[in-house]
């Protein structure tokens, strides 16, 4: 099997300050010793909870080709003479490897950011491009200061398409990441009030997202949401960066990828699209208007990257929602079945409203039940944003609402009494009443910010209700 990195290329890229012996060729890259297999390079990253240096020996025992350690800790590893390199800083070494990976790739590289929809769009684009050539993208939401260089470092030099998700929760973060990615195409899904607690205004969020244009290579292009109120601002920033190929997707008349007609259903959406002047019909298996609009950006990105749009549509007709972002499960319970919609990965006002609208589309003989946890990082307006969800709850005609978290307590106070199921301070306290309540034909949607720990509710339902 061809190595991802030869030993010599790996060493040249990470630039060790000290190398006591030889290393082996590298087949993949890991920052988690629990997943290390023979041939991996293990980078001992210092995280918020753990220091990877404490797991370096375990990585070697698992067959790592090399462990990358901080030179400041060299004295702790004097007994390791082979398959180790010491560097000035482990994260910086991973960044250098990521930059080297990007430099050797001749294929098209697409970067995706946005307040919502980044991972769902990345996953859909990866699938849609697959019939047109080899595609590399992260398997999860690896879009931060370690996720982006890790995704790049894992990118084989032979790939034809690289799809890189880029996130941020403070100004300047995208600027640093996009300098490594250097995309041919930059996509912004939309801009709404997500992570606004780290910013003074949504205008600052738009400016931070626009940093993605700074890394676009000469002759590259951008694709932005033409229906978003910041579309003209983003277009102006792109022009100021010297980008001439500025394209828009959405419903607006001036969109290059324009939605002409949309039919929403419980099992997906049917789109009629003007794609750079060509009429395209496409069925998207993942239901919800927000995912249908994401599909516009996917079709635009496929076209701008030289992919086969017809084959991309064939894939989207089979491509469901991503884990934690609308993935659906059919659960067996005593007396029947329950549909579970897993939206547990993250939440902000726009994504919760979209998820509630999708829940309303669901078909079942029973009730529509929403289980919501706190939306985090919303700053001083958090209480009002949580209370503002009552409009979506009422408009979508849901039957039952379970809420948890200190912020959701403010919403609970104004939820119509007929909708109220249970409120709890923590997500764990919702599990027992929810499991006891669900009946045949019910559709249950679980959503909240990652820190609200809504995932355990999903896990409990999957465990209690055997498929």
118 is in an annotated binding site: yes
Whole-angstrom Cα distance, residue 79 to residue 59? 15
Higher pLDDT, 245 or 347: 245
CATH topology of domain 327-464: 3.90.190
pLDDT for residue 447 is more than 60: yes
The reply to whether 197 sits in an annotated binding site is no
pLDDT at 92 over 70: yes
Q: Which two tokens stand for residue 383?
A: 């209480």
Tell which residue, 41, 79, 80, 43, has the closest CA to residue 63: 41
Ranges of each domain in the chain:
7-88, 105-316, 327-464
Q: Does residue 300 contact residue 110 with C-beta atoms inside 8 Å?
A: no
Buried b (16+ CB within 10 A) or exposed e, 336-364: ebbbbbbbbbbbbbbbbbbbbbbbbbbee
- Judge whether residue 467 has pLDDT over 60: no
Could you tell me the pLDDT band of residue 91, with boundaries at 50, 70 and 90? very high
Its sign, for the CA torsion 277, 283, 286, 288, is positive
Q: Give me the pLDDT at residue 379, please.
A: 84
> How confident is residue 464, by pLDDT bands cut at 50, 70 and 90?
low
**391 in a known ligand binding site:** no
Query: 114 a known binding residue?
Result: yes
Burial of 466 (0-12, 13-18, 19+ CB in 10 A): exposed
Residues 338, 438: contact at Cβ < 8 Å? yes
Q: At residue 396, does pLDDT exceed 90?
A: no
Q: Does domain 105-316 have CATH number 3.20.20.140?
A: no
According to the model, what pLDDT value does residue 466 have? 46
pTM of the model: 0.86
Look up the CATH number of domain 7-88. 3.40.1390.10
Question: What SS3 state is found at 259?
Answer: strand
CA 390 to chain centre: 27
Whether residue 116 has pLDDT greater than 90? no
Per-residue pLDDT, 84: 97
116 labeled binding residue = yes
């Amino acid at each position: 099997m061809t190595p991802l990195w030869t030993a010599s290329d790996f060493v040249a890229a990470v630039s060790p300050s000290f190398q006591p012996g030889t290393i082996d060729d590298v087949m993949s890259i890991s920052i988690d010793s629990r997943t290390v297999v023979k041939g991996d390079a293990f980078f001992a990253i210092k995280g918020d909870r753990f220091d990877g240096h404490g797991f370096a020996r375990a990585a070697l025992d698992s067959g790592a080709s090399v462990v990358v350690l901080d030179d400041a800790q060299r004295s702790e590893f004097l007994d390791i003479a082979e398959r180790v390199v010491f560097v000035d800083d482990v994260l910086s070494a991973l960044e250098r490897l990521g930059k080297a990976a990007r430099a050797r790739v001749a294929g098209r590289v697409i970067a995706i950011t946005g307040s919502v929809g980044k991972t769902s769009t990345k996953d859909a684009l990866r699938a849609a491009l697959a019939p047109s050539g080899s595609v590399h993208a992260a398997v999860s939401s690896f879009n931060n200061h370690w996720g982006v260089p890790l995704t790049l470092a894992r990118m084989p030099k032979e790939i034809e398409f690289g799809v890189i998700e880029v996130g941020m929760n403070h100004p300047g973060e995208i600027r640093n990441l996009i300098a490594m990615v250097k995309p041919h195409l930059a996509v912004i899904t939309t801009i709404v009030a997500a992570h606004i607690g780290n910013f003074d205004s949504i205008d600052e969020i738009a400016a931070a997202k626009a940093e993605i244009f700074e890394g676009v290579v000469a002759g590259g292009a951008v694709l932005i949401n033409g229906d978003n109120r910041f579309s003209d601002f983003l277009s102006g920033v792109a022009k100021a960066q010297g980008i001439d190929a500025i394209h828009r997707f959405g419903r607006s008349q001036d969109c290059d990828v324009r939605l002409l007609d949309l039919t929403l259903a419980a099992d997906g959406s049917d789109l009629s699209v003007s794609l750079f002047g060509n009429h395209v019909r496409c069925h998207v298996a993942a239901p919800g208007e927000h995912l249908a609009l994401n599909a516009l950006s996917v079709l635009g990105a496929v076209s701008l990257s030289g992919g086969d749009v017809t084959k991309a549509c064939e894939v989207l007709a089979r491509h469901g929602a991503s884990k934690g972002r609308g993935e659906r499960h059919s659960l067996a319970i005593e007396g029947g079945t329950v549909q579970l919609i897993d939206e547990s990965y993250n939440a902000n006002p726009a994504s919760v409203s979209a998820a509630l609208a999708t829940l309303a589309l669901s078909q079942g003989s029973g009730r529509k039940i929403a289980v919501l946890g706190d939306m985090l990082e919303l700053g001083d307006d958090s209480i009002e944003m949580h209370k503002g969800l009552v409009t979506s709850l009422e408009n979508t005609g849901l039957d039952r609402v379970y809420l948890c978290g200190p912020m959701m307590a403010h919403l609970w106070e104004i939820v119509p009494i007929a909708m109220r199921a249970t409120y709890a301070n923590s997500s764990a306290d919702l599990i027992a009443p929810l499991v006891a309540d669900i009946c045949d034909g019910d559709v249950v949607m679980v959503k909240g910010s990652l820190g609200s720990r809504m995932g355990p509710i999903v896990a409990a339902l999957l465990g209690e209700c055997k498929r």
